[in-house]
A and B are shown apart, each in its own frame.
Chain A
Amino acid sequence: MEFHPQPTPGTARPWAFPAPERGALPNGLTVLRCHRPGQQVVAVEIFLDAPLEAEPEGLDGVATIMSRALSEGTDKHSAEEFAAELERCGATLDAHADHPGVRVSLEVPASRLAKALGLVAEALRAPAFTESEIERLVGNRLDEIPHEHANPSRRAAKQLSKELFPATARMSRPRLGTEETVRRIDAAAVRAFFDAHIRPSTATAVIVGDLTDIDLDALLAETLGDWSGNTAQARPVPPITADDTGRVVIVDRPGAVQTQLLIGRIGADRHERVWPAQVLGTYCLGGTLTSRLDRVLREEKGYTYGVRAFAQVLRSSGPDSGGAAMLAISGSVDTESTGPALDDLWKVLRTLAAEGLTDAERETAVQNLVGVAPLKFETAASVASTLADQVEQHLPDDYQAHLYARLAETGTVEATAAVVNAFPVDRLVTVLVGDAARIAEPVKALGIGEVTVVTG
Chain B
Amino acid sequence: MPMGHTATAQAGSGGLTATEHRLANGLRVVLSEDHLTPVAAVCLWYDVGSRHEVKGRTGLAHLFEHLMFQGSGQVKGNGHFELVQGAGGSLNGTTSFERTNYFETMPTHQVELALWLEADRMGSLLAALDEESMENQRDVVKNERRQRYDNVPYGTAFEKLTALSYPEGHPYHHTPIGSMADLDAATLEDARAFFRTYYAPNNAVLSVVGDIDPEQTLAWIEKYFGSIPSHDGKQPPRDGTLPEIIGEQLREVVHEEVPARALMAAYRLPHDGTRACDAADLALTVLGGGESSRLHNRLVRRDRTAVAAGFGLLRLAGAPSLGWLDVKTSGGVEVETIETAVDEELARFAAEGPTPEEMERAQAQLEREWLDRLGTVAGRADELCRYAVLFGDPQLALTAVGRVLDVTAEEVRAAAAAALRPDNRAVLVYEPIEPADEAAEGEDGTEGTDAHEGAAK
Contact = CB atoms under 8 A, between A and B. Distances in A.
A88 B360 contact: yes
Interface string A367-395: 11011111100110000000000000000
Interface in B358-374: 360-361, 364-365, 367-368, 371-372
A298 B371 contact: no
Nearest to B137: A302
B375 A39 contact: yes
A289 B81 contact: yes
B386 to A, nearest CB: 20
Given A41-B368, A83-B290, A255-B443, A289 B456 contact: yes
Interface in B14-36: 14, 34, 36
A388 to B, nearest CB: 19
A359 to B, nearest CB: 13
A89 B375 contact: no
Contact of A1 (B86, B220, B227, B291): B227
A375 B107 contact: yes
Contact of B368 (A108, A146, A152, A374): A108
Given A1-B228, A109-B371, A288-B85, A374 B39 contact: yes
Contacts of A333: 143
A375 B87 contact: no
A52 B136 CA distance: 44
B354 to A, nearest CB: 12
Contacts of B138: 302
A363 B290 CA distance: 45
Contacts of A4: 116, 223-224
Contacts of A255: 435, 438-439, 443
Nearest to A84: B292
A26 interface: no
Interface stretch (B167-175, B296-304, B336-344, B392-400): B296-304
B361 A88 contact: yes
Interface stretch (B145-153, B313-321, B408-416): B145-153
A146 B259 contact: yes
Given A146-B260, A149-B259, A333-B143, A378 B82 contact: no
A37 B36 contact: yes
B297 A306 contact: no
Interface in B269-316: 290-292, 297, 300-301, 304, 307
A368 B86 CA distance: 5
B110 interface: yes
A332 B81 contact: no
Contacts of B139: 301-303
A306 B457 contact: yes
Given A146-B259, A289-B78, A90 B365 contact: yes
Contacts of A149: 259
B82 A364 contact: yes
Given A38-B36, A40-B371, A288-B81, A147 B143 contact: no
A150 interface: yes
Nearest to B367: A90
A76 to B, nearest CB: 16
B238 interface: no
Contact of A374 (B107, B220, B260): B107
Interface in B108-161: 108-110, 112-113, 116, 119-120, 123-124, 135-144, 146-148, 150-153
Contacts of A168: none
B455 to A, nearest CB: 9
B304 A258 contact: no
B292 A80 contact: yes
B229 interface: yes
B199 to A, nearest CB: 12
A200 B87 CA distance: 43
Contacts of B86: 363-364, 367-368
Given A6-B113, A40-B14, A89 B372 contact: no
B37 A258 contact: no
B89 A371 contact: yes
B187 interface: no
A56 interface: no
Instruction: Report the interface size class on chain A.
Output: 35 or more
Contact of B146 (A14, A91, A332, A374): A332
B325 interface: no
Interface string A259-295: 0100000000000000000000000000011100001
Nearest to B132: A300
Contacts of B13: none
Nearest to A133: B301
Nearest to B360: A88
B292 A364 contact: no
Contacts of B330: 139-140, 143
A41 B371 contact: yes
Contact of A305 (B147, B292, B360, B438): B147
Contacts of B113: 6-7, 9
B37 A378 contact: yes
A450 interface: no
A304 interface: yes
B443 A147 contact: no
A151 interface: yes
B164 to A, nearest CB: 23
Contacts of B331: 139, 143
A172 to B, nearest CB: 24
Contact of B153 (A2, A147, A304): A147
Contacts of A38: 34, 36-37, 375
Given A10-B112, A368-B85, A371-B87, A378 B377 contact: yes
Interface in A64-84: 71, 79-80, 83-84
A298 B140 contact: yes
Interface in A46-103: 71, 79-80, 83-84, 86-92
A256 B151 contact: yes
Contacts of B12: none
B14 to A, nearest CB: 7
B140 A372 contact: no
B197 interface: no
Interface in B233-276: 258-260
A4 B118 CA distance: 13
A360 to B, nearest CB: 9
B375 A13 contact: no
B39 A302 contact: no
A86 B34 CA distance: 31
B147 A83 contact: no
B364 A300 contact: no
22 contacts: A1-B228, A3-B120, A10-B109, A13-B108, A40-B375, A84-B357, A87-B292, A88-B360, A90-B365, A109-B364, A143-B330, A143-B331, A147-B260, A258-B146, A290-B78, A290-B82, A302-B135, A302-B142, A304-B140, A371-B88, A374-B39, A378-B375
| The 6 residue pairs across chains A and B that have the minimum distance between CB atoms | A371-B88, A302-B139, A90-B364, A1-B123, A13-B38, A10-B109
Given A9-B113, A38-B37, A109-B371, 20 more contacts: A7-B220, A9-B87, A11-B109, A13-B108, A39-B375, A88-B361, A88-B364, A91-B368, A109-B368, A257-B150, A258-B146, A258-B147, A258-B151, A298-B140, A299-B140, A371-B87, A372-B88, A375-B89, A378-B376, A379-B375
